[in-house]
Chains A and B, each alone.
Chain A
Amino acid sequence: MTATPTARRATDTETVRSLNGSETIMSVEDLKVYYGNFLAVTDTSMNVPEKRITSLIGPSGCGKSTVLKTFNRMNDLVAVARVEGRVNYYDKNIYDPDVDPVAVRARIGMVFQRPNPFPKSIYDNVAWGAKINGYKGNMDELVERSLIQAALWDEVKDKLKESGLSLSGGQQQRLCIARTIATQPDVILMDEPCSALDPISTLRIEDLMRELVEDYPIIIVTHNMQQAARVSDITAFMTLTEGRSGTLAEMGPTDEIFTSPRDPRTEDYITGKVG
């Protein structure tokens, strides 16, 4: 493992910290992810701050989703995936042998690219995650609170017993956000949460993210640069190395990344010359 924290990256990290006055909740150090023999992500380090929306952008195949999936060890489900380096939750490396990935996922929730509600009632969709994690409080209240937070309550309060699959795509995605909130995670990961949605639903989810970030740090992968510009506080731009591996090019406050990127590759991508 070659540790190559460049001067530029260190500066980035400091900039992020000073400009946002926010503590780091998760960080990645010298991350390498292999799929079999293929090095999918290399040489990537980043700090994710509390109470901010951090977006990961970059061209297709640059490893955005792969990095995101290391934050809650969903990569473990891919048999050939192998992770090197550290992924820290506060100070704890979640890839340490004494860490149970199931426990990690209970603390670090995830919303997927396509809405994937369970084939169960709306109520059960929200309640299930909390129940299996041993929630002992009033379940009706939790379901209501989570659905309110996910801006879905008004639309479903009269049909909580109906199937989650009976909802529209945008509603389903908010249902998935509600079930994630219901487990009271410390971080929410979103993997292109709007890519299967229409523009109106997309805007609703974006508004929702701005509300949620009051309580939860959010890390979002998006293909949509405008979306990153609209919702995120911090933007990480990932790109491809010569060997077709994904790597972090630059990370900083979103307005800086979009107005005055320091890395020429970022500029090329943002101005539409590549990607």
Chain B
Amino acid sequence: MAVQASPLKGSGNLQRRKAVGTIARGAFFLATMFGLVILAILLIDIISDGYTWVDRDFFTALPSRFPERAGIKVALMGTLWVMGLTALITFPVGVGASIYLQEFAPRNRITAIIETNIANLAGVPSIVYGLLGLGVFVEIMRMGRSVIAGSLTLSLLVLPIVIIASQEALKAVPDSIRQGGLALGATRLQVVRSHVLPSAMPGILTGTILALSRAIGETAPLIVVGAVAFLTFTPEGLDSQFSVMPIMIYNWTARPQEDFHSLAAGGIIVLLAVLLAMNMTAILLRNHFQNKQIQ
């Protein structure tokens, strides 16, 4: 009654297939480690260089010719102002545009051309946006070298990224949800607001925060628009002059004194901390929306 068991031997080249698998796995692991290790080395280097400079005075002191008196306050406040405004401008405009393109625009050539061009805009070098900002906001609209001109310029820079990421998030919402809503006699806007947008929100937030993370490190376009390194006051309004951290850091690294280079490392630590805080906020928001959905 026993069925003859065939011997449990791999067919043909099993040993070779397994070896290839092991090698590939190792290669993928190395690829993962490549970035991580270099990043770790960089972080260790910067922290060991700069941590002694990051103290209370560093956050309260204004720029100075003497490294021991110089601080990040003006640049930090400038960055917070510019990034806050950029987020306020980018989020509604970017999400609005992506909702229009994905949920309302007719599927025709014009829409396709617009979408392609937005994708192209995402690849335009940031210096070009800086020149655009200088021409349009600073000169034509007479905003001067102000916080608002800088924020609008950075918004232009990151909007394509936000739009593309948001559109992808909206695309990922199954069409059956839209149909279900429409079949109940809902308008498109009602379906988008109640079902599509909440489902897409985690993806939209992730995309927005990634875009803002790019903006926070931008230097070139803001230099063009007129941000300066050496300012002795923090922004007080939209029309204030401003500095931002990357420019401050760049300025410090360009100085001959060794101490300024360590100071720059301190600045980088603060910049990274702000960046991490932003990403944390995004993750918390995303989790909040995900939990709300699954209940």
Residues of A within 8 A of B190 (CB): 132
Give bound CA distance, A118 to B295, whole Å. Answer: 12
Q: Does A179 contact B (CB under 8 A)?
A: yes
Knowing A128-B194, A132-B190, A165-B294, say if A118 contacts B183 (CB, 8 Å). no
Knowing A114-B176, A162-B295, say if A102 contacts B187 (CB, 8 Å). yes
Establish whether residues A183 and B184, one from each chain, have CB atoms under 8 Å apart when the complex forms: yes
B-side binding surface: helix, strand, loop or mixed?
A: helix
Name the CB-closest residue of B to A129: B184
Please report the total number of B residues contacting A with Cβ < 8 Å.
Answer: 22
Knowing A79-B107, A102-B185, A129-B185, say if A116 contacts B294 (CB, 8 Å). no
- A interface residue count range (under 10 / 10 to 19 / 20 to 34 / 35 or more): 20 to 34
A106 contact from B106, B184, B198, B294, Cβ within 8 A: B184
Establish whether residues B185 and A183, one from each chain, have CB atoms under 8 Å apart when the complex forms: yes
Contact with B along A100-127 (1 / 0, CB 8 A): 0011111101101010111111000000
Give bound CA distance, A104 to B182, whole Å. Answer: 10
Knowing A161-B295, A162-B295, say if A118 contacts B181 (CB, 8 Å). yes
Q: Does B195 contact A (CB under 8 A)?
A: yes
Give bound CA distance, A229 to B183, whole Å. Answer: 27
A229 to chain B, nearest CB (A): 27
| Residues 130-181 of A contacting B (Cβ, < 8 Å) | 132-133, 161-163, 165, 176, 179-180
Establish whether residues A128 and B184, one from each chain, have CB atoms under 8 Å apart when the complex forms: yes
Residues of B within 8 A of A162 (CB): 295
Name the CB-closest residue of A to B194: A128
Residues of B within 8 A of A161 (CB): 295
Contact with A along B171-196 (1 / 0, CB 8 A): 00010110111111111001000110
Establish whether residues A119 and B182, one from each chain, have CB atoms under 8 Å apart when the complex forms: no
Give bound CA distance, A107 to B185, whole Å. Answer: 8
A52 to chain B, nearest CB (A): 21
Name the CB-closest residue of B to A179: B184
Establish whether residues A118 and B185, one from each chain, have CB atoms under 8 Å apart when the complex forms: no
Q: Does A225 contact B (CB under 8 A)?
A: no
A-B contact pairs, 16 of them (CB 8 A): A74-B179, A77-B179, A79-B107, A105-B185, A112-B180, A114-B176, A116-B174, A116-B176, A118-B195, A119-B177, A119-B195, A119-B198, A119-B199, A129-B186, A162-B295, A163-B295
**What is the interface of chain A, defined by CB distance below 8 A to chain B?**
72, 74, 77, 79, 102-107, 109-110, 112, 114, 116-121, 128-129, 132-133, 161-163, 165, 176, 179-180, 183
**What is the interface of chain B, defined by CB distance below 8 A to chain A?**
106-107, 174, 176-177, 179-187, 190, 194-195, 198-199, 293-295
Q: A110-B183, A116-B179, A119-B195 are in contact. List 19 more A-B contacts (CB 8 A).
A: A74-B179, A77-B179, A79-B107, A102-B187, A103-B185, A104-B185, A105-B186, A109-B183, A109-B184, A112-B180, A118-B180, A118-B194, A119-B198, A120-B295, A121-B295, A133-B184, A163-B293, A163-B294, A183-B185
